[in-house]
Amino acid sequence: MSKEIKVPAVGESITEVTIGQWFKKDGDQVQMDEVLCELESDKATFELPAEAAGVLRIKAQEGDTLEIGAVICVIDEDSVVSKSESSSPAPKADSKPKTSATGEVKDMVVPTVGESITEVTLANWIKKDGDFVKLDEIIAEVDSDKATFELPAEASGILRQVAKEGDTLEIGGLICKIEVMEGEPAQAESPSAAPATSSTAPSRKESYATGHASPAAAKILSEKGISPADVSGSGKDGRITKEDAEAAKKSTPAPAPAPKVEAAPVSVTGSRNERREKMSSLRKTVSRRLVAVKNETAMLTTFNEVNMKPIMDMRSKFKDQFKEKHGVGLGFMSFFTKAVCVALQEWPAVNAKIDGNEMVFNDYCDISIAVSAPKGLVVPVVRNAEAMSFDQIEKEIVRLAGKARDNKLSIEEMTGGTFTITNGGVFGSMMSTPIINAPQSAILGMHNIVERPMAVNGEVKILPMMYIALSYDHRIIDGRESVSFLVRVKQLLEDPTRLLFGV
């Protein structure tokens, strides 16, 4: 009996994952709950355990992108790897071949490797023309615009190559043919008959794999800007593994010799180098979702400005006592979070979302806080922020930001928010139009604080001012609600004592 292992549901709004690394090989014996591979979504990386014991049959390769519910591999529960098979003596040199031609020829064509991919490039042949290949043995590597994957033999027999390395083939195009044979060819000679000079040959076999990076390793080296030629592989036959790529460091290039310049009317100055990197799974998914939000929502942005002096004065007065008592600093985010929660409860449409033909209103405030992490922007959620105190909000933000920097956020910590706050001011942004974090209906953008001359009661005063922006979905939030929400946030921030008395 065969057990299909499929991509599990890993979180709200996640529709696909990418295979990062296989820990087991095709044909390996695996045990129940043993980790098979590592999967990457746009939000987190997690491990895939075996759901049964048996022999592993891999269906998707490292770098492949699969939808939720797609088959990753199959476990043959009826198959058992026999130790006696591996310990059986090698055939004698004069034994007769155990193969026989069946007359059948198997045509191998380019398989469907992913949505929207219409063609691939044959990167390199692993087996030579005329070689005997076994069923499921890797015979070639193929590149698409999204990933590199290996091509397994679909039958046992003699390989007849049709396409050449570097050829671009459409999906369904003929790659090779296999003259199907039964059994396996006998060894040409026994190992003992090898010439004595073989003892001086290098212990590691030089082959196509020598110096070649696996798909996962190639991705890491590309991100580091390191050439595979500069990395020593520790895998089989010198193949560069993921661990080799992670340990590799970019060497400082020697200064290039001065070019020989012939007499010319104009001398060339400056560098004209360029560098290409493949987009990560996270970057591709974020890009697709941001475009979808722009296309599928009626997004508008309204602006206002806030005098930050009252909050700055309050922080200066109490920050030392606050940190001494609660063990955490008093930042701007707790003031903004509290102000947003009050305004959301007064204008519930801003805290709602559209689900099909229905509007879903929430009586709680789960505030998503945008955080810059090594792999990109992530948005962990502060749950029930409306019921939290200033110190509780600050502690939770510090905890989530720390996990984000260490790439340890769980799926649960990044899903289910009802409203988002993003602070571009930490990078120096003066004004922006933030994009809604779907399926939410609104997002508040904070910006940098700049001292500007302001008219106050007929007098000009220099005040620390911040522009704030509210992007919202006009399908569910009207102009009156969006503007009134932002005015209420401004009122609470410019007089933070209102937050203490709920007025």
- pLDDT at residue number 263: 61
- pLDDT at residue number 236: 58
Q: Per the domain annotation, does 203 fall within a domain?
A: no
Indicate if 317 and 405 belong to the same structural domain. Answer: yes
Q: Per the domain annotation, does 387 fall within a domain?
A: yes
Of the candidates 470, 431, 471, 422, the one whose C-alpha atom is nearest the C-alpha of residue 449 is 431
- Among the candidates 27, 56, 80, a domain finishes at 80
Indicate if 39 and 103 belong to the same structural domain. Answer: no
What residues make up the domain containing 344?
298-501
For β-strands 157-161 and 174-182, DSSP reports them as antiparallel
Q: Per the domain annotation, does 359 fall within a domain?
A: yes
Question: In total, how many domains does the chain have?
Answer: 4
Indicate if 56 and 112 belong to the same structural domain. Answer: no
DSSP secondary structure letters along 303-359: EEEEE-HHHHHHHHHHHHHHHHHHSS---HHHHHHHHHHHHHHHSGGGG-EEETTEE
- pLDDT at residue number 192: 40
**Overall pTM surpassing 0.75 (yes/no):** no
Cβ 20 vs Cβ 216: under 8 Å:
yes
Of the candidates 83, 178, 102, 109, the one whose C-alpha atom is nearest the C-alpha of residue 137 is 178
d(CA 205, CA 195): 17
Q: Per the domain annotation, does 85 fall within a domain?
A: no
Q: Per the domain annotation, does 90 fall within a domain?
A: no
In our burial notation (b when 16+ CB lie closer than 10 A, e otherwise), range 367-401 reads: bbbbbebebeebbbbbeebbebebbbbbbbbeebb
State both tokens at 337. 């979070």
Bridge partners, residue 444, by sequence: 421, 470
- pLDDT at residue number 478: 93
Cβ 290 vs Cβ 454: under 8 Å:
no
Q: Per the domain annotation, does 180 fall within a domain?
A: yes
- pLDDT at residue number 195: 42
Given 33, 107, 145, 474, the catalytic residue? 474
Question: In the Cβ-directed half-sphere of 387, how many Cα atoms lie within 13 Å?
Answer: 5
Indicate if 112 and 58 belong to the same structural domain. Answer: no
- pLDDT at residue number 96: 46
**What CATH number is given to the structural domain containing 139?**
2.40.50.100
Which parts of the chain sit beneath pLDDT 50?
82-96, 188-205, 208
212: annotated active-site residue = no
Indicate if 390 and 489 belong to the same structural domain. Answer: yes
Q: Name every residue whose Cβ is closer than 8 Å to that of residue 37 and which is 6 or more positions away in sequence.
A: 19, 20, 21, 22, 23, 24, 47, 48, 72, 73
Q: What burial class does residue 485 get, using C-beta atoms within 10 Å of its C-beta: 0-12 exposed, 13-18 middle, 19+ buried?
A: buried
Indicate if 4 and 135 belong to the same structural domain. Answer: no
Cα–Cα distances (Å) from 426 to 314, 400, 445, in that order, read 20, 17, 11
Indicate if 32 and 151 belong to the same structural domain. Answer: no
Indicate if 421 and 469 belong to the same structural domain. Answer: yes
Q: Please count the other Cβ atoms lying within 10 Å of the Cβ belonging to residue 121.
A: 16
478: annotated active-site residue = yes
- pLDDT at residue number 221: 78
Cβ 266 vs Cβ 272: under 8 Å:
no
Q: Per the domain annotation, does 207 fall within a domain?
A: no
- pLDDT at residue number 259: 61
Indicate if 426 and 486 belong to the same structural domain. Answer: yes
Cis peptide before 228 (omega within 30 of 0): no
**What CATH number is given to the structural domain containing 426?**
3.30.559.10
Indicate if 65 and 133 belong to the same structural domain. Answer: no
- Among the candidates 48, 80, 112, a domain finishes at 80
Indicate if 223 and 370 belong to the same structural domain. Answer: no
Indicate if 128 and 12 belong to the same structural domain. Answer: no
Given 107, 129, 313, 478, the catalytic residue? 478
Q: Per the domain annotation, does 39 fall within a domain?
A: yes
